[in-house]
Structures are given as structure tokens and as C-alpha cells.
Structure 1
Amino acid sequence: MQEDFLHYLWKFKKFRLNNLKSTQGEHILIKSFGDHNVNSGPDFFNAQIIIGDQLWAGNVEIHIKSSDWFLHSHENDKAYDNVILHVVWEDDTQVFRKDNSIIPALELKGLVENEVLYNYKNLFIKQDKWINCESDFANIDDFILYNWLERMYFERLERKANDINQLLQDTKNDWEAVLFRMLMKNFGLNINGESFLSLAHSIDFSIIRKVQSKQHTMEALLFGQAGLLNDDIEGAYFLSLKQEYHFLKQKFNLQNHSVLPLKFFRLRPLNFPTIRLSQIASLYNTQQGLFSKIIETQAIDGFYELFNLATSEYWTNHYTFQKTSKSSKKVLTKSFINLLLVNTILPVKFAYSKQKGETSENIIMDISNAIKSEKNSIVSAFNNLKQVSKTALQSQALIQLKTKYCNNNRCLQCAIGNTILNK
């Protein structure tokens, strides 16, 4: 038995309401169940309950056993002075106010239908299940399911917006600097993401503004800070980068001791950090005022055009500085741009519009629904239960659902779990 289940029973009135009596024998008539409080303090605020012949207005506290009142030290907390009813599964002791009057208790055991208890126990019984509801997931009504996934998607965006707000504080509200750091992390993908982010942190964005008009200088800055120019390699391009970076390091007093090492091992050549750094140098070289352009762009085709770029010429026949390779233009693919949209662009647009008090939900939904579903273990597992994820909105929502709800047994706060309990 979880206390959350008792919250669910009270909030959704899932117990017999006729002829209620307190464990002290007084008749109880609930006029208002109150507002659910998910923060500290009593569980439900502003309830209205007739107990005996008296109408009470105040708060409701819920416990599995009434003795939990003392286990949680509520008797010493002023926040609980206005509790008018103690709702419990089992009343095992009396609870008193400071004036020694008894706080009436309502015992739910015996008031809940067997079917509700069966659904609850069946949902939470662990039988080597990937998620608690996996045997029922395929039968959830599509209207309920997709509305819940939409909510999960925006809940995930809210979490990302909180991370962006922290970056804003770190950069003194410089949205361009925040965008640069987030793009750098995503250009590094899973393998080099943290290394690229540490690289971005090592460069004040004011320096990017000063050098971005020259592709060669941008590359020298990024490659140099990443430690890729430390070797002794012959070649005009490498040596010119090394000389340029030496000048930049002296001019801007650059330090890179906190930059994490880059990895090449087990990466496809197109994802080598050399290629990705050249591409992001091209992006900032060709797109001045990138943040404003991202905010102004409202359709997915506009983003494909904005990020239609390639490496500098040297990298058409190189993947590393050490040897040449077959000539090929190394552009940002649509699938890579989609990753940038999902992980950086759309969260930034959402956070910015929220800060400005504007709404961007419809635009964000249109773009995320125009992107095909991501492929990962979470999405695949859900799709094995029911073919549910077709777009990036849905795949992002499923990640939020699994990591923040399923993994934490938050079925009672989930629309899917509530639907199963209401069967």
C-alpha cells in the first residue's frame, strides 16, 4: 500500500461516500475534497467537511496509519494546525490538536471496492515487467494515450527549459552564448558531447563574435582549444592553424586545461570531432546572429536551409590531420539537423518564448511532429507493446514517461495508470 494510492482514492472519490462516519462515530459529509498539494504541508488544502453537526473548512492530511502523524512529527509543525480530517487506511491511534481535542479520522479500509484494490495490486505487482502496465498498455484508448504523450513532451521541454535558464544565469542572459554551448554539446553527440561542452565553456562567447567572420580563424580557435593542434604535423593547413591559434591564445589569454579529451575510437568518420568542429565553425561563419534567425524561423524547411552547410575545403579529402582520404563533401544531413532541432533548437525556442510571456507551442508541435521518431531502446520497447511512436514529439514524450514516471512507479500520477485503475 502506498500513500499515493490513498491520495488517488481521496482525489478521485474512489470509495463509498454514503453514510460515512469517523472512527469516533461522528457522521461525515464531504462538501469539497480540497485542492491536492504536491509540495510540503498537508495533502489537501481548503476542504469543506461537515463532521457531526459542524461545517469545517480547512486541510486534510492522509496517511497509511494514523500513527504516521507522529512518525512524520506533524505534532510539532504549525503547518498542520488547521487539519480538520485525518484520512487513513488504518486508524491505529488517536491524534490530538494542541488544545487536546481529537482530530477526527476517516478509515478507508472497508470503504474501497474490491475491483479498485485488485487493479491497484495488479498494477504494482512486480513480475519482471519492463513497466508496471505493460500487459495493459496496448489496450489504452488512443485519445487518452496521445493526449498524455503531448503533456509528457511539454513536461520534458519544461525540464530542458530549466537547464537553459541555468545556462542563462551563467552567461549573464546572453542567449547567443547559451545557444552556442548547447549546439556544441549536440554537435559532439553522445561520445564527445561533454568534451565539446567543456570546449564551449573554455571560450567566452565575445571571442566567437570577434572571430566568426573568418572560417580559418574559427577553426584555429576550436581546434586549438580542443588540443588538436599540439602534434608536430607537416602540412600548410595544419601549420597555419597552429600559428593562428598561437596568436589567438596570446591575444585572448586562452586556457584549455579544463577541456575534456576528444574521442575518435568507434566513431563513424563523419562524426569525428575534426569534422563536427569544422562544421560548427562553418555555421557561425555563415550565419551571423544565429539565435535571432532560429527564433524567427517557424517551419522545418527553414531550419534545413539554415543548417545547409559543410566543412571547409580541407576536410573534403580529410577526416584527420594525419592522412588524406577519398574526396567527399561533408554536409550536415537532415537526420543530424533533426537531432539538433529536438535537443537544442526547439528547447531554446520554448524557453525563450516562455521568458517573453509568448506562446510557441503550436509551432513547436508542428516541427516536432514533422520529424520522424527517434530510435532508441526506450522507444523500441514501447513500440513492441504498441506501435505508438511515429514522430519526434512522441519519442521524446516516451523518454519522459519512462524515465520520470515508469522508473519511479508514478503510475498514480499517470493518465495511463489512472485509466487502468478505473477499469
Structure 2
Amino acid sequence: MREDFLHYVWQHQYFDKTDLRTADGEDIQVLRPGHRNADAGPDFLNARLRLGEVEWNGAVEIHLRSSDWARHSHQTDQKYDQVILHVVGSHDADVARTNGSLIPALALQPRLLPELLARYQALVEAPVVAPLPCAPLLNLVPEITKTMMTERALLERVEAKADVIMTLHQHLGQDWEATAYHALMAAFGFQKNGEPLARLAKAVPLAVLRRHRHDQRQLEALLFGQAGFLADNEETVADEYIQDLKQEHEFLRHKYGLGPAALLVHEWNYLRLRPANFPPVRLGQLAGLLHARPALFDALLTAQSVAALTEFFQAPAPAYWRTHFRPGRPGKVPSLGKSSIDLLITNVVVPLRVAYARHVGQPALVESSVALLSELPAEHNQFTDVYEALAFAHRTAADSQGLLSLHKSYCAPAAACTAPSVAACCSNPASPGESSTGHFT
């Protein structure tokens, strides 16, 4: 048995739930198994369970044996303090969080059907026939059909992202400037750290930042202090710049009643990130942007070209964060790269403008905003590469976004794309009134 098999079993809940109990005999009810985590930390996040009479929200960690917890040194890693259930093949040891509290365990091996493992192993070892189930029949689809479906998928993806912006806009009291601020903060995380940066935006209200936008040092103190990056350690205790920011943060947080740091250092993700993408680097670039561009929304709304938007995002970071990858750790840091700026335009600027255009009834602004994607170069990733290899047009970011939507909304779901039915992927599988869901990438 392999650990990824247990991931599969837990994700799809393919095990006997009769009289489900922990190793200590406590009743378990799985309300939500959580979603897979591809970064450092527990295997499944945002799980919801009922243990006995208490409902828990947190993470689930999976191992072949309970003792693997200690072998992987999770008992000293604060990222694993959020684990509420340890799902294992076999239970051979009690495990605890960094504070010593025990974590309930669920042993799955006695609850698995033998034929399930055999079927899973056969699927894993089966040769890959085609990158997509419908690939062998794509030559039957006219080019105009593929082009029209990709364009439709692009518009659905942009509309879905605009819907996310509109929901944010409603939650922020219909304040477009605050909406732009929150959207940019989350997007600067570039997937790996989007969630912590979104939380930071809530912890440092725009109304507070507006009062200090002309003082870059105070902006840094607010952002880095609430992000938890000013905590003393062996690298920062002798760093005069960090100590000065820490003192300023203490003054400002008491002044505005912000409380202590909203995040802890271990809540930021560094796994598989280049130093240029480290969270403190991105936060330094945000501080420079907020200082140099006091009217975010107006600038993003009125920019007439990709060149103008690129210039907007090239605001220099504070000097310290151009020479430090982390607090107290020197190094030459490059400025925000063109590819990162292109992603910000794709995932923030275009949806923000489309959401505003829909809100005020300006269809021409929708068209001009979507047209910006045709000025950006194509993205290349594991999904778009598949379609490019199958001769789909892939010249600009508009093509990339359409192909991503085509894959995630139509071709990826198991029931949406089968070899006998090319139309499921490349025709008109949904009625005109239906729309797909979209996520920032």
C-alpha cells in the first residue's frame, strides 16, 4: 500500500464508515474531508469533522503508519498544529502537536475492501493512451468549432473571476478602492501565499493604510508587523532596520487597536519557491506599490494599454527589500518581473474592470478589458501545453485563459469528456444560460 492510495481513499471517502471511531474509541463523523494541499503543511486543509459531540474545523494529515509523524518531524513543526485528525493505514503510536496535545487517529486499513486497492493499482500502472480521453477524435472537430469553444470558455472564465470581484465588492461595502486593494493583496501571493496575503489585507484595513501612504516606513511597519515578519530571531535581533520597524509597528498597532501580529511566520509558504518569490519580497513590492500609487482603482481602471499597466506595477520596493530576501537575510532581490505583472493584469486588472463595467453598464469597457489579454504573451503550464501539443491555437494570454477554462470546466470532470463523445469537450455541452466556475491562477 502507498500513501497516495490513502490520499485517494480519504479524498473520495472510499472506506467503510460503519461505527466510525478513532483509535481511542471516539465517534467520528466526516462532514467535509477537506481539499488537497500541494504546499508545505498537512495533506488536506479546511476539513470539518464531528469528534464525539464537538465539531472541528482544521486539517487532516495522512501517513501509512502513525509513527511516520515523528519520522517526518511534524511534532516540532507549527504548520501541523492545525491537524484535527491523523488518518493512517495502521495505528502504531500516539502523536502530538507542538504544545503536547494529542491528535486523534483513524486507522483505515481494516475498513478497506481488498479489491479497491487492486483496482487502484491497476489504474496507476495502466499506460497513458492519450493526454485527453477525446484526443484521438479531435481531428474530427472543425477548427472553427475549437476556436469558438475556446473563446466561449475564455469569456466564462473572465465572467467567473468578475463574479468573485463583485462578491468581494459587496463584502467591502461597495468600495471600489478597497476592492482593488484586497484583490491585489491576494493576487500578489501568486497561489502559494494568496490566502495569507488575503488575511493580511483584512488585518490591515485600507482606511488605516491611507493615513500613512506618504510615509513608506510606517507602511512597512504596518504590513510587515501584522504579517508576523518582525518577530525576533537570530537573524533579526541585531538588524537595526527591522528593530526600528518593530518599534514603529508597536506604536501604530496600539494607536489603531490592531492587536498583535495577525499571522505567524510558519503560516507563510516557502516550499518550492525561488527566493525572488519569497513572501517578504512580495510584501516589500506591495509596500512600494501602495506608497507610490495612492489611487489604485482609478489607475487600474483608466490605464489604456498593457504598457501603462506594466509601468504602474513597476513601482520600486523600499530599499531594504531590494537587498533582503527575508528580514535580516541580505541578498540581491530582482524587481517584480514581467511574467508576474502579466499574471496580475490577467487575474486582477481584467476581472476588476469587467466587474466594474458590468456594475455601471459599460459593455465597451468589458470588451476593451478582455482585449488586454490579447496583448499579453501566452502562458505555458501543464494544462496549456497539452492543448498546444494537440494543435489548439495558443498565441496569447487570451488563448491560455480559454484553454484553462476549457480544460477545468469541461474536459477535466470525469463525466464531461469521454472518447466516444468529442462534443463534450469541444462543442456545446452547456446551455446558453449556464456558466462555469473559475478560480484565480
TM-score (ref. length: structure 1) = 0.64
Cα distance in structure 2, aligned partners of 1:243 and 1:150:
53
Task: Give the alignment's Cα RMSD to 1 decimal.
Answer: 2.2
Pair 215,402 (structure 1): closer, same or farther in 2 beyond 3 Å: same
User: In 2, are the aligned partners of 1:138 and 1:386 still within 8 Å (CA)?
Assistant: no
Percent identical across equivalent pairs? 31
Cα distance in structure 2, aligned partners of 1:180 and 1:306:
14
Describe the SS at the equivalent of 2:427: helix
1:417 to 409, 427, 430: 427
Q: Is residue 163 of structure 1 aligned with residue 168 of structure 2?
A: no
User: In 2, are the aligned partners of 1:226 and 1:262 still within 8 Å (CA)?
Assistant: no
1:238 to 214, 236, 242: 242
Report how far residue 151 of structure 1 moved: 1.4
Instruction: Name the structure 2 match of 1:373.
Output: 378
The aligned runs of 1:260-339 (5 Å cut-off) are 261-325=267-331, 327=332, 330-339=334-343
Cα distance in structure 2, aligned partners of 1:418 and 1:351:
25
Describe the SS at the equivalent of 2:328: coil
For structure 2, which runs of at least 5 residues remain unmatched after alignment? Answer: 1-127, 430-441
User: In 2, are the aligned partners of 1:309 and 1:331 still within 8 Å (CA)?
Assistant: no
Describe the SS at the equivalent of 1:190: coil
Instruction: Name the structure 1 match of 2:192.
Output: 191
The aligned runs of 1:23-422 (5 Å cut-off) are 130-232=131-233, 233-255=237-259, 259=263, 261-325=267-331, 327=332, 330-359=334-363, 360-408=365-413, 409-410=415-416, 416-417=426-427
Cα distance in structure 1, aligned partners of 2:134 and 2:309:
38
Report how far residue 147 of structure 1 moved: 2.1
Report how far residue 129 of structure 1 moved: 5.2
Q: Which amino acid aligns with 1:309?
A: A
Q: Which amino acid aligns with 1:332?
A: L
Cα distance in structure 1, aligned partners of 2:140 and 2:388:
13
Describe the SS at the equivalent of 1:319: strand
Q: Which amino acid aligns with 1:386?
A: A
User: In 2, are the aligned partners of 1:370 and 1:391 still within 8 Å (CA)?
Assistant: yes
Q: Which amino acid aligns with 1:373?
A: A
The aligned runs of 1:2-41 (5 Å cut-off) are none
Report how far residue 171 of structure 1 moved: 0.6
Cα distance in structure 2, aligned partners of 1:174 and 1:374:
32
Pair 137,215 (structure 1): closer, same or farther in 2 beyond 3 Å: farther
Question: Which stretch shows the higher mean deviation, 264-273 or 334-343?
Answer: 264-273
Cα distance in structure 2, aligned partners of 1:255 and 1:384:
53
User: In 1, are the aligned partners of 2:410 and 2:425 still within 8 Å (CA)?
Assistant: no
Instruction: Name the structure 2 match of 1:30.
Output: none
Cα distance in structure 1, aligned partners of 2:398 and 2:274:
27
Report how far residue 153 of structure 1 moved: 0.9
TM-score (ref. length: structure 2) = 0.62
Q: Which amino acid aligns with 1:322?
A: G
Question: Which stretch shows the higher mean deviation, 299-308 or 401-410?
Answer: 401-410
Report how far residue 190 of structure 1 moved: 1.9
User: In 2, are the aligned partners of 1:133 and 1:417 still within 8 Å (CA)?
Assistant: no
User: In 1, are the aligned partners of 2:215 and 2:291 still within 8 Å (CA)?
Assistant: yes
User: In 1, are the aligned partners of 2:157 and 2:405 still within 8 Å (CA)?
Assistant: yes
Report how far residue 193 of structure 1 moved: 1.3
For structure 1, which runs of at least 5 residues remain unmatched after alignment? Answer: 1-126
Describe the SS at the equivalent of 1:211: coil
Cα distance in structure 2, aligned partners of 1:398 and 1:256:
44
Could you list the per-position Cα deviations for residues 301-327 of structure 1 after superposition, in whole angstroms to 9, with x for gaps in the alignment?
Answer: 1101111222211123221222322x4
User: In 1, are the aligned partners of 2:350 and 2:370 still within 8 Å (CA)?
Assistant: no
Q: Which amino acid aligns with 1:294?
A: L
Describe the SS at the equivalent of 2:276: helix
Give the aligned length: 291
Pair 135,323 (structure 1): closer, same or farther in 2 beyond 3 Å: same
Q: Which amino acid aligns with 1:296?
A: T
Report how far residue 249 of structure 1 moved: 0.8
Instruction: Name the structure 2 match of 1:91.
Output: none
Cα distance in structure 1, aligned partners of 2:428 and 2:148:
14
Q: Which amino acid aligns with 1:416?
A: C
User: In 1, are the aligned partners of 2:216 and 2:287 still within 8 Å (CA)?
Assistant: yes
Could you list the per-position Cα deviations for residues 217-264 of structure 1 after superposition, in whole angstroms to 9, with x for gaps in the alignment?
Answer: 111111111101111521221111001110111011114665361123
Q: Which amino acid aligns with 1:336?
A: S
Cα distance in structure 2, aligned partners of 1:150 and 1:258:
42
Cα distance in structure 1, aligned partners of 2:302 and 2:130:
45
Q: Which amino acid aligns with 1:376?
A: N
Instruction: Name the structure 1 match of 2:37.
Output: none
Report how far residue 385 of structure 1 moved: 1.4
Q: Which amino acid aligns with 2:339?
A: S
Larger Rg: 1
Cα distance in structure 2, aligned partners of 1:148 and 1:418:
7
Cα distance in structure 2, aligned partners of 1:416 and 1:288:
45
User: In 1, are the aligned partners of 2:350 and 2:369 still within 8 Å (CA)?
Assistant: yes
User: In 1, are the aligned partners of 2:275 and 2:325 still within 8 Å (CA)?
Assistant: yes
